[in-house]
Amino acid sequence: MTIGLKLSILEAGLKSRAAAAFGLEEAAMAGFHLAAPPPHIAADVSIAWPIAGAKLLRKPPLKIAEELKAALGAEFEAESVPPGFVNLKFKDSVLFEALKELEKPDCFARPDFKGEKINLEFVSANPTGPMHLASGRGATLGDSLARIYRALGAEVATEFYVNNVGKQVELLGLSLKARLEGKEPPENGYQGAYLKEMAAALPKEAAGWTGTQFSEYAVAEILKLHRADMKAFGVEFDRWFLESELHAEGGPAKALAALKERGMVYEKENAVWFGAATELESDDKDRVLVKADGRNTYFLNDIAYHLNKFSRGFTSLIDILGADHHGYVPRMEAGVGALAAGKGSFKFIIHQQVALKRGEETVKMSKRAGDFISLKELVEEVGADACRFFFAARGPHTHLTFDVDLAKKKSNDNPVFYVQYVHARISSIFANAAEKGIDPAAGFDQSKVAILPEERALILKLLWLEKTLSDCARDFSPHHLTTYLSELAASFHSFYDKCKVLDPENKETSAYRLFLLKHVQAVIAKGLGLLGVSAPERM
């Protein structure tokens, strides 16, 4: 069994062997996983499944571990230990081959992602004001996942949906008009200073504009800001999809007709309703599709938008939404599910809000009142790298408090600095090697290398990147990657404290350790790049 860097494939292969040996269906072995053993255990990977399988097989865990050890084959040094673990150790030659695989451009591609065509929609902030911190969290989440899915072999298109139709856009136009006239915005309008600045820059002929013209102008100007914010944040969308495009092609009318054909709508109080409560279990009550005044609800328009995505050939839709969309998910699962059967899968990810901490104080923010810190301001203060790493460091379902003071620190207390420093430190080691006349490209005899524990730990950590990326894809979150990079940085420091890299008297050892550090640096750069974070040569 060849493992290379594919620990997830090794895991699947060993799981299959174990299932056959115990006469089980693989579905019954859901808890079968490879794990990194604790530092005091002299093993490369560990399997704890015998403990979970004891009840299923009605055998003592240690007995199952002994049988599992025999079933896994002779490619590894394996041992069964109490209370029911199987520990495996790889041959040194396998570890060296794994390092060489890191040099392949598609080294993390997996067959189960081949042919997958994903539409990943994120941010989609209403064009009614500057982007806020939650937009930055959504942008980090979506852009990082897109990069990770591509690394795993999927085809991914990123999309920003612009709600440039509807009441909020009308209120935006009325708010801008009021500012031009020296008045306060209407009730539920937009109060931010950005509208005062926009009003001051309006052309002279704006005095005779209609409300629609004010809305169109405001949306266009705010979209310019959104595009600039995303570019400065390292995010480039494949498409900015305007809601007006959807209406121009009759999308909502087509979706409504399809729902009627399915018998899933009814009329009440002069409105058109979706009968989710009687048809589907994912929503708990019926929802309005067309209001009594003839206007479509966002619900109908959004169903139409998702059908449009499927019509473009996507096999998987992923929407990343802010915390204020919790009630949106069940109705969309019902609505899209009613029409998209057999067309592909769809997943809604809700991320929590971001709180900003300065010193010991948490800053209170309100977008509608215009009292908030924009994403642009935060990026200008702490840098895009710190923003993206900090935003990615927590799973989307976890509340995030962004510590501004920590993000600005130039020390190992700052997690992004800690990881980036390793990349820069290795660059300086290679520069030092050149000064000492040590050739980093020089070969070495693998058979003569005695891999030390710190070196082995570093090599093994590199192998875990592929499985880490798979975990990110499984959980729809890059936080596993930030944790991985921090652990890899710690492994490097442990190695560097105990292992002399450059030794002119022992060029064979120097060549081997430079070979190792070349791959550590490459993985650091790769991991940071998947997060949209730079990998500096100097710090």
What's the CA gap between 234 and 139, in Å, rounded? 9
Cα(9)–Cα(15) distance, integer angstroms? 10
- What torsion do the CA atoms of 253, 257, 262, 265 make, to the nearest 10 degrees? 70
Using CB atoms within 10 A of its CB, is residue 69 exposed (0-12), middle (13-18) or buried (19+)? buried
Name the DSSP letter for residue 74: S
Q: Strand (E) positions, 378-482?
A: 400-403
What confidence tens digit (pLDDT) does each residue in 4-37 have? 557 877 888 899 999 999 999 998 988 899 999 9
Tokens in use for 151? 């690394």
Domains belonging to the chain, first-starting first, are 7-90 (3.30.1360.70), 415-530 (1.10.730.10)
State yes or no: cis peptide before 83, omega within 30 of 0.
Answer: yes
CA within 13 Å, CB half, 340: 26
Amino acid, res. 9: I
Strands of 361-363's sheet, edge to edge?
361-363, 354-358, 400-403
| Distance, CA of 502 to CA of 189 (rounded, Å) | 65
Q: What is the pLDDT of residue 276?
A: 54
Q: Would you state the pLDDT for residue 368?
A: 47
Count of CA atoms in the C-beta half-sphere (13 A) of 330: 12
**What does the alpha-carbon distance between residue 126 and residue 232 come to, in Å, rounded to a whole number?**
19
> What CA–CA distances, in Å, run from 518 to 242, 267, 523, 528?
45, 67, 9, 15
Q: Which portions of the chain are predicted below pLDDT 50? A: 1, 277-283, 368-370
Structural contact between residues 75 and 93, judged by C-beta atoms closer than 8 angstroms: no
| pLDDT 10s digits, 232-247 | 999 999 999 999 999 9
Closest CA to 402 of 84, 144, 137, 135: 137
Q: Residue 281: its pLDDT value, please?
A: 47
Per-position DSSP letters for 27-70, written without gaps between them? GGGTT--EEPPPTTS--SEEE-HHHHHHHHHTS-HHHHHHHHHH
pTM above 0.75, yes or no: yes
Residue 201 CA to residue 183 CA, distance in Å, equals 16
Distance CA 178, CA 306 (A): 36
Return the structure tokens found at 150: 């591509």
Task: Give the number of residues written for the chain.
Answer: 539
In 10 A of CB 480, how many CB atoms?
20
